[in-house]
């Protein structure tokens, strides 16, 4: 399957339904962890929660802990809201574009085979996601489920990004888009 045959944004949006938005820490707002799946009956919502947040994934996820560490590092830098002494350069271009410009300078990502991999990434985020899914040999029919597991592994960051995309005051606007 080619990227033109797949609406990766729709697959990501569907996968993100299991993620509840997470307000910034300074707001101290409680959240329902099943908020994204409230339309289901309670038993079905609990089953989905158990599957993705406490369950085991049958799809190969061998690199997930390394990827998660990198995601945490880059989300932390990108989503800084004035706490850091030095802010992430190029944030106004969006998460993927800023990351793509800075990743070649990251010591953890600097090696000949990783540099080749970084250089081979498409320039658009959606295409890069599809490229990586194909590189991981995720079968087309399992992409959405794989994305759900990926988001469920980092529910705090995924929830905060969902809040920014769907709940943050739109009048303030997002000066550093992450979605």
pLDDT value for 113: 74
Per-position DSSP letters for the chain, written without gaps between them: --GGG--HHHHHHHHGGGPPP---GGG-----TTGGGTTS-HHHHHHHHIIIIIS---S--TTHHHHHHHHHHHHHHHT--S-SSSPPTTGGG-HHHHHHHHGGG-GGG-SHHHHHHHHHS-SSHHHHHHHHHHHTT--GGGHHHHHHHHHHHSHHHHHHHHHHHHTS-TTT--SS---
In a domain, residue 173? The reply is: no
In a domain, residue 177? The reply is: no
Which residue range is the domain that position 59 belongs to? 3-166
In a domain, residue 50? The reply is: yes
pLDDT value for 107: 86
In a domain, residue 77? The reply is: yes
pLDDT along the chain (179 residues), means of 10: 70 87 66 67 72 59 76 90 82 92 87 80 94 90 91 89 79 63
pLDDT value for 156: 87
In a domain, residue 93? The reply is: yes
pLDDT value for 47: 74
In a domain, residue 175? The reply is: no
How many domains are there within the chain? 1
In a domain, residue 9? The reply is: yes
In a domain, residue 178? The reply is: no
């Amino acid at each position: 399957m080619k990227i033109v045959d797949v609406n990766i944004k729709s697959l990501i949006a569907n996968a993100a339904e299991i993620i509840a938005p997470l307000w910034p820490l300074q707001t101290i707002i409680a959240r329902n962890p099943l908020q994204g799946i409230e339309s289901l009956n309670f038993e079905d919502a609990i089953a989905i929660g158990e599957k993705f947040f406490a369950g085991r994934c049958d799809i190969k996820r061998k690199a997930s802990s390394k990827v998660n560490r990198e995601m945490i590092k880059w989300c932390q830098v990108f989503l800084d809201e004035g706490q850091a002494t030095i802010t992430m350069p190029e944030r106004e271009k969006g998460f993927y574009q800023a990351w793509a410009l800075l990743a070649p300078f990251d010591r953890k990502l600097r090696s000949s085979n990783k540099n080749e991999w970084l250089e081979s990434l498409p320039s658009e985020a959606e295409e890069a996601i599809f490229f990586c899914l194909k590189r991981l040999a995720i079968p087309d029919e399992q992409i959405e489920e794989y994305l759900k597991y990926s988001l469920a592994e980092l529910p705090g960051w995924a929830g905060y990004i969902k809040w920014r995309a769907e709940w943050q005051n739109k009048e303030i606007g997002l000066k550093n888009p992450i979605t």
